[in-house]
Amino acid sequence: MNTSIKVLLTDDHAVVRSGVRRLLEQHDGIEVIAEADSGEQAYQLFGECLPDVVVMDMSMPGMGGLEALRRIVARYSAARIIMFSMHENATFATQALTSGAVGYVAKSSEAEDLVNAVRQVAAGKSYLSADMAQKIALQSMAGDDNPTQKLTAREFEIFRLLAEGKVVEEIAKLLNIGQKTVANYQTLLKQKLEVNSPVELVRLAIRHGIIEG
């Protein structure tokens, strides 16, 4: 008998986790061995149960999916992580893949997409749904000079939260980092993205589909 693909499921919504668990376990050869409700917990559980595949929500309170992904991959280079995100934007997918994810599936995709992603990734391949692959290809073909692609995972996360109108105190609390650190990132982001005001930062985020206008 084949051994099952062991999956660690990470999402801050219990309802989403139970739905995804049901979906995956309907298929032979896939077993959800642990669930995490935060990036911090995913990092800890990864070391304890060494799953074959991690299915990780991108937008979670605290450390967030991108940062958790970066830390897991930095410590466990063989980690195979699929970002499972509500964002259908190519910029988010590119960020996830650059940060070390080997798969990206939008939550609005067909259910089979996630099952295929888990199987492909467990087999050592990478996975992008067809529509996401097309979006990324179109974005790069358009020569879209998107400055947000130069950002690190943590910079991108702070940029997104600032663009959503969160203030320094809120971001520090969400990401469990000091307010001074957030303020330093804010200054760095203005230089890197060549924006001078919060309004310009929001416009940039809307232009590249990071937030909706």
Q: What is the CATH number of the domain that holds 186?
A: 1.10.10.10
pLDDT for 25-51, tens place per residue?
999 999 999 999 999 999 999 999 999
Q: Of 95, 116, 140, which residue is a domain's last?
A: 140
pLDDT for 44-70, tens place per residue?
999 999 999 999 998 887 778 888 998
In this prediction, residue 131 carries a pLDDT of 80
**Residue 1: pLDDT band with limits 50, 70, 90:** very low
Do 134 and 163 fall into the same domain? no
In this prediction, residue 33 carries a pLDDT of 96
pLDDT for 130-182, tens place per residue?
788 878 777 766 655 678 878 887 888 899 889 888 899 988 888 878 999 99
Which one-letter amino acid corresponds to residue 126? S
Q: Of 102, 123, 140, which residue is a domain's last?
A: 140
- The answer to whether 161 and 171 are in contact (CB under 8 A) is yes
Relative orientation angle of helices 179-193 and 198-207, to the nearest 10 degrees: 60
Burial class (CB in 10 A: 0-12, 13-18, 19+), 27: middle
What is each CA distance from 164 to 90, 98, 120, 158, 176, in whole angstroms?
A: 18, 23, 34, 10, 18
Can you read off the two tokens belonging to residue 10?
A: 């990470």
Give the residue-averaged pLDDT of 8-12. Answer: 95
Can you read off the two tokens belonging to residue 59?
A: 């937008």
Q: Does 212 score more than 80 pLDDT?
A: no
Do 166 and 196 fall into the same domain? yes
pLDDT for 79-112, tens place per residue?
999 999 887 778 888 889 888 999 999 888 888 8
> Domain range for residue 172?
147-207
Helix runs in the chain, H state only: 14-25, 39-49, 65-75, 90-98, 111-122, 130-141, 153-163, 168-175, 179-193, 198-207
What is each CA distance from 134 to 80, 100, 130, in whole angstroms?
A: 22, 20, 6
More confident residue, 133 or 213: 133
Say if strands 5-10 and 127-128 run parallel, antiparallel, or are unpaired.
Answer: unpaired
In this prediction, residue 2 carries a pLDDT of 56
Q: Of 92, 107, 140, which residue is a domain's last?
A: 140
**Residue 15: pLDDT band with limits 50, 70, 90:** very high
**Predicted structure pTM score:** 0.78
User: CB count, 10 Å around CB of 189?
Assistant: 22
Do 120 and 101 fall into the same domain? yes
